[in-house]
């Protein structure tokens, strides 16, 4: 069945600019039929997102996007449909967030050596949740200084491997993040696999190990993929026997290329991840007014 599901986006609780409530309204306005808020390493926005979705008559799944380290790169694992009070998940995410503060100071020191002063304080002005300072907040500050025109130029010139402001960071292990999600009753999904710079062997290892740890799905249609990557990862889903997911990865009006609910449908031959999560969906009490 074709469903306008959007199971990947960010609020001010991580590196988006809208509140969970504003996002819910935008999703509903754009025709989203099943929604999940997936803030980075943080589930503090879940209750607000679910309540807002309920008030708008929009079915909701709990969501998160966890940063992990794999083969020397950062990989993002989306968790869907979990119990957000599960201690293993709550503690794992708290541990993941704790490393961000020290990393942010190191990013700031490194940027200062390249002539961008006051970046820690500058980035903090864009932070909605002091526990969750991300490179996106630094990127918005660097645009404010006039050094770059937009955040994509920032990521080309700063904050990425080999560029000023890049600080290597050890996140959780792949198996840990999958265990936090599945232990809390949810399903784990590899986010935007087309974004990583893995060799074919490393990518094969990622999906093989992910499956071995109990991972369930892969994002096929995402705002972080080029159109040619939809078919490529549709084939990966079939090859590895993974469920498929779909999400805009919306962060901010004017900044994100794809809006909430604005993607093509999943290819009809794939098994959507939401069909395996039917009993985890929060349904609104009644149809919207």
Chain residues binding ligand AMP by CB under 6 A are 15, 40, 67, 134-136, 151-152, 155, 251
User: Residues 264, 269, 275, 276: is their CA dihedral positive or negative?
Assistant: negative
* Binding partner of residue 155 among Mn ion, ligand AMP, none, CB cut-off 5 to 8 Å per kind: ligand AMP
* Binding partner of residue 36 among ligand AMP, Mn ion, none, CB cut-off 5 to 8 Å per kind: none
At its nearest, how many Å lie between ligand AMP and the CB of residue 15?
5
* Binding partner of residue 42 among Mn ion, ligand AMP, none, CB cut-off 5 to 8 Å per kind: none
Task: Find, among 265, 260, 271, the residue nearest to 28 by Cα.
Answer: 260
Contact flag: residue 219 with Mn ion (CB under 5 A)? no
Task: Find, among 263, 71, 246, the residue nearest to 171 by Cα.
Answer: 71
* Binding partner of residue 67 among ligand AMP, Mn ion, none, CB cut-off 5 to 8 Å per kind: ligand AMP
At its nearest, how many Å lie between ligand AMP and the CB of residue 271?
27
SS3 of residue 281 by DSSP:
coil
Alpha helices in the chain (DSSP H): 20-29, 46-55, 87-113, 119-124, 135-145, 151-157, 174-183, 200-212, 227-240
**Interacting positions 235-264 with Mn ion (CB under 5 A):** 249
Residues 6+ positions from 98 with CB-CB distance below 8 Å: none
- Output 37 or 234, the one with its CB closest to ligand AMP: 37
Contact flag: residue 76 with Mn ion (CB under 5 A)? yes
């Amino acid at each position: 069945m074709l469903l306008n599901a959007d199971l990947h986006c960010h609020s001010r609780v991580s590196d988006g600019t809208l509140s969970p409530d504003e996002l819910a309204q935008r999703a509903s306005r754009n025709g989203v039929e099943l929604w999940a808020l997936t803030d980075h390493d943080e589930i503090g926005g879940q209750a607000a997102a679910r309540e807002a979705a309920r008030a708008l008559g929009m079915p909701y799944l709990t969501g998160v996007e966890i940063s992990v380290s794999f083969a020397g790169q950062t990989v993002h694992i989306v968790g869907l449909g979990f119990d957000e009070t599960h201690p293993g998940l709550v503690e794992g995410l708290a541990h993941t967030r704790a490393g961000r503060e020290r990393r942010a100071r190191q990013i700031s020191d490194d940027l200062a050596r390249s002539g961008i002063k006051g970046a820690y304080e500058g980035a903090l002005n864009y932070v909605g949740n002091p526990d969750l300072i991300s490179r996106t907040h630094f990127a918005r500050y660097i645009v404010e200084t006039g050094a770059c025109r937009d955040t994509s130029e920032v990521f080309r010139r700063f904050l990425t491997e080999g560029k000023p402001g890049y600080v290597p960071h050890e996140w959780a292990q792949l198996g840990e993040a999958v265990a936090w999600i599945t232990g809390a009753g949810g399903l784990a999904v590899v986010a935007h696999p087309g974004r990583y710079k893995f060799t074919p062997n490393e990518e094969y290892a990622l999906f093989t190990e992910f499956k071995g740890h109990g991972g369930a799905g892969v994002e096929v249609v995402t705002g972080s993929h080029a159109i040619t990557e939809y078919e490529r990862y549709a084939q990966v889903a079939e090859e590895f026997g993974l469920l498929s997911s779909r999400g805009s990865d919306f962060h901010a009006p004017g900044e994100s290329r794809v809006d909430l609910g604005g993607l093509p449908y999943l290819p009809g031959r794939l098994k959507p991840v939401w069909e395996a999560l039917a009993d985890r969906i929060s349904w609104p009490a009644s149809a919207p007014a």
